[in-house]
Chain A
Amino acid sequence: MIKSLKRAASLGSMAAILAAAPALAEPVTIEWQNINLTESQYEPVWKHMVADFEAAYPDIKIKPVLVARKDHWTKFVTAAQAGEAPCVVTTDIAPAAYNGYIQSLDALWNAEPEEFRNGWSEDIMRGVRFDGEVYGLPTYGGIYAEIYNRDLVEAAGLDASNPPETFAEYKTWAEALSGDDHWATAILGGPTDTTTRVLLSWIYANGGEPFDEDMTESRFAKDPKSLEAIKAYLGMEAAKLAAPGATTTNYLEQTNLFAQQKIATMRNAFWGIAKVVGDNPDLEGKLFVAMPPHGEGAAPATVARQGSVAISANCEHPEEAWEFIKFDAQAKYAIERALKANFMPLRNDLADAPEVAGDEMLSKFLTIGQSAIAYPPSHPYWEDISSGDIVEAVQAALLDPERTEEIFTALDEKLTEKLNDI
């Protein structure tokens, strides 16, 4: 009897060990949701990086989550609410951290050696801090510059080597570049936060301050420099210097217009170039970039959209996720992203890398980036403010330019209340 019991026990133990063995060998799967994964120019870059990572870390598998750009945030929020968010996600830090969708990376960040942490400037790191803690790692940025079509500029009798530096000069150029069925530029007024990014680039270039330093007061109309820039920018549609239909123009429509040579210049980031050249290969080598024009007496300025990667709150393998984030942040992939997919590197140590310095367009963007103000501003409600309230005010002002000041005064009241309703 005892013998049989012992045999049964030993068989049971063996079965348990055998059952546990494959489970121990099972690799950890990390889901990765990145807003850009569906972009054709980026696809070979990330696939190659993932393959390298899985070869280097055979115990970790990466499962990319492909999501259309406009559905990225919605899907992440829905998954986070269900406690099923992908482990690694690109997101704006403040809204995601405030809502509890991502976890603090302070401990992981502080455990890294100093030479790793020195890869990012304190200015850049400010964009990934919330309540004093690190919640993400900056991966790439979009520095907004003025991109011109050289052929159209020269056809209008303008000197491409001497692009406009001030609002007044830009207006002169815009008049020369506009005609019956073509326009100098496109104003963005569609329902995405790109509308707000471009608006802010004009305001900053006029020395405007649409928000106070601690983001508790909106000053679009209250600050004369901001209001002046808004009127100069939005007024171009009524003056027929910008393509009609601005209230429906988003990134996609703007780049379509530029690729089809309906507009001669667009305010966009480095990735916009890859998009238009992809749409119209004839434009390859025919584009040039310049610092966005600035207001009289103001210093040149623009915005830099910062893309950050974070770890979701429900992620059960934060250490493995962090390994993946660090791997993706390596210099060689940042350079590859920049050269093949036009994503601007945010690491300090890449500007002087020979591959980057040797690319004239990329270097120009990096130079422009030295005068850029980081976007998005850090506020939990920024998603709603930038894609909702500001867009509505821009649309209302485009439809009724005479009421621009009144519209933005109302916006200031509404936003000031919202900024403080936390």
Chain B
Amino acid sequence: MNPTNRTAAALPAPRYGRRLKWAQRRAAAAFLAPAFIFLAFVVVFPLGQAFVTSLYRIRGLRSSFVGFDNYVRTVTDEAFWSSLGTSLVFTASCVAAHLAIGLGLALLLNRVTVARTLFRIAFLMPWIIAPAIGATIFLWMLEPQFGVINYLLQSVGAISEPIAWLGRPWSALVSVILVDVWRGVPFMMLLMLAGLQTIPIELYEAARIDGATPLQQFRYITLPNLAYLMIVGTTLDIINTIRHFDIIAVMTGGGPVSATEVLPVLLYNTAFRANRLGEAATIGILLLGIVLAFSIVYIRAMRLDRDGGRD
């Protein structure tokens, strides 16, 4: 049982009559109404509109109802599956790297005793910079002729001629993944650091007295205590990364030869380059379905915690 439930159980049973309960409900509804109306305007209505749009064949300002034709067209289009594959590779690589590097940095920062705040701010910098600005900086750093990365690699003799990092399918995909890793690690680092600081120090002291090595301490104390945060953090990170747009839009626009065309970029290109707003809305709805699936995992993880799963 978690602390919230314990507190609830300790409270006396409500003694209010039915009428008072109804009044309470009305008050609760009145308090919730502004937030509900706001969310309806900014989330529910646009989503409903997007779904309705996905049922139309739209060419500019002209449209005709086509039912689920756009869905059939999209799921039978090779470009959609190729883009979904790219999205999965991009998301899996980025999330795995965010977690591994974020955890590593959190472990390091947890031990640092000197200039702790300075280090934390320094590591948070990529997260503070807007993704589009960070992407533009990397775009110029990776530029084949004038970019600093080719210059440094040539200076130390690592490469003999400039490499067009964003000009070849695999190197372009790896490049955008690395830039996203640079951007996304601080979030995971912050989460893991917060988790590490909740682990009682006595556990480590007891383990040390019992002769546990640092690796055993990590395996049997740190990891189990961080497991819940890792699930929540990873799920949130998947939801965030799979719908990521700005870095790829700025650096490659989905190219070369669609090698970095993740679903949000395909959606953008379908809407604004091809002017097929109905199909673009369809891709958006399908992407929403994927995000919702991961959201269910996230909500279940949260419920598990609320229902005492961690105890």
Contact, CB under 8 Å: B162 / A399 = no
The CA-CA distance from A73 to B164 in the complex, in Å, is: 28
Name the distance in Å between B26's Cβ and chain A's nearest Cβ.
38
| A residues 313-350 touching B (CB-CB < 8 Å) | 313
B195 at the A interface (CB under 8 A):
no
Contacts of B203 in A (CB 8 A): none
A80 at the B interface (CB under 8 A):
yes
The CA-CA distance from A101 to B256 in the complex, in Å, is: 30
Contacts of A78 in B (CB 8 A): 272
Contact, CB under 8 Å: A244 / B144 = yes
A415 at the B interface (CB under 8 A):
no
Given A247-B167, A257-B145, A395-B256, A387 and B273 contact (CB-CB distance below 8 Å): yes
Residues 94-110 of A, flagged 1 when their CB comes within 8 A of B and 0 if not, give 01001111000000000
Contact, CB under 8 Å: B255 / A247 = yes
| A residues 63-120 touching B (CB-CB < 8 Å) | 73-74, 77-78, 80-81, 95, 98-101
Residues 84-128 of B, flagged 1 when their CB comes within 8 A of A and 0 if not, give 000000000000000000000000000000000000000000000
Contact, CB under 8 Å: A99 / B60 = yes
Contact, CB under 8 Å: A395 / B255 = yes
Given A247-B256, A384-B274, A387-B273, A101 and B60 contact (CB-CB distance below 8 Å): yes
Contact, CB under 8 Å: A399 / B272 = no
B254 at the A interface (CB under 8 A):
yes
| A residues 222-248 touching B (CB-CB < 8 Å) | 243-248
B305 at the A interface (CB under 8 A):
no
Given A73-B272, A248-B164, A260 and B258 contact (CB-CB distance below 8 Å): no
Name the distance in Å between B276's Cβ and chain A's nearest Cβ.
8
Contact, CB under 8 Å: A399 / B257 = yes
**A77 in complex: contacting residue of B161, B164, B258, B275, CB < 8 Å:** B275
Name the distance in Å between B50's Cβ and chain A's nearest Cβ.
13
B269 at the A interface (CB under 8 A):
yes
Name the distance in Å between B123's Cβ and chain A's nearest Cβ.
31
Given A77-B272, A191-B253, A98 and B164 contact (CB-CB distance below 8 Å): no
The CA-CA distance from A388 to B61 in the complex, in Å, is: 22
Name the distance in Å between A251's Cβ and chain B's nearest Cβ.
14
| B residues 232-259 touching A (CB-CB < 8 Å) | 252-258
Contact, CB under 8 Å: A245 / B257 = no
| B residues 154-209 touching A (CB-CB < 8 Å) | 161-162, 164, 166-169
Given A81-B277, A99-B275, A395 and B61 contact (CB-CB distance below 8 Å): no
Name the distance in Å between A69's Cβ and chain B's nearest Cβ.
14
Residues 252-263 of A, flagged 1 when their CB comes within 8 A of B and 0 if not, give 010011001010
B146 at the A interface (CB under 8 A):
yes
Contacts of A260 in B (CB 8 A): 145-146
B62 at the A interface (CB under 8 A):
yes
A381 at the B interface (CB under 8 A):
yes
B25 at the A interface (CB under 8 A):
no
Contact, CB under 8 Å: A384 / B169 = no
B219 at the A interface (CB under 8 A):
no
B59 at the A interface (CB under 8 A):
yes
**A100 in complex: contacting residue of B61, B161, B254, B277, CB < 8 Å:** B61
A356 at the B interface (CB under 8 A):
no
Name the distance in Å between B235's Cβ and chain A's nearest Cβ.
32
Interface size on B, residues (CB 8 A): 28
Please name the residue on chain A nearest to B145 by beta carbon: A262
**B275 in complex: contacting residue of A190, A243, A383, A399, CB < 8 Å:** A383
The CA-CA distance from A253 to B167 in the complex, in Å, is: 13
Contacts of A81 in B (CB 8 A): 61, 277
The CA-CA distance from A260 to B145 in the complex, in Å, is: 10
Contacts of B144 in A (CB 8 A): 243-245, 248
A30 at the B interface (CB under 8 A):
no
Name the distance in Å between A314's Cβ and chain B's nearest Cβ.
9
Contact, CB under 8 Å: A191 / B60 = no
Name the distance in Å between A242's Cβ and chain B's nearest Cβ.
12
The CA-CA distance from A95 to B273 in the complex, in Å, is: 11
Contact, CB under 8 Å: B161 / A244 = yes
Residues 262-298 of B, flagged 1 when their CB comes within 8 A of A and 0 if not, give 0000000100111101000000000000000000000
Contact, CB under 8 Å: A388 / B273 = yes
Contact, CB under 8 Å: A80 / B273 = no
**B256 in complex: contacting residue of A248, A253, A387, CB < 8 Å:** A248
A361 at the B interface (CB under 8 A):
no
Name the distance in Å between A35's Cβ and chain B's nearest Cβ.
15
Contacts of A383 in B (CB 8 A): 273-275
The 8 tightest CB contacts between A and B, nearest first, are: A99-B60, A245-B164, A100-B61, A245-B144, A247-B256, A384-B274, A247-B167, A395-B256
Could you tell me which B residues sit within 8 Å of A by CB distance?
A: 59-62, 143-146, 161-162, 164, 166-169, 252-258, 269, 272-275, 277
- 14 A–B pairs (Cβ distance < 8 Å), ordered by A: A73-B272, A77-B275, A99-B60, A191-B253, A245-B166, A247-B166, A248-B144, A248-B252, A381-B274, A381-B275, A384-B274, A392-B255, A392-B257, A395-B257
List 13 additional contacts besides A73-B272, A189-B256, A399-B168; criterion CB under 8 Å: A80-B60, A81-B61, A99-B61, A244-B167, A247-B164, A247-B167, A248-B252, A257-B145, A313-B61, A381-B275, A388-B274, A392-B255, A392-B258
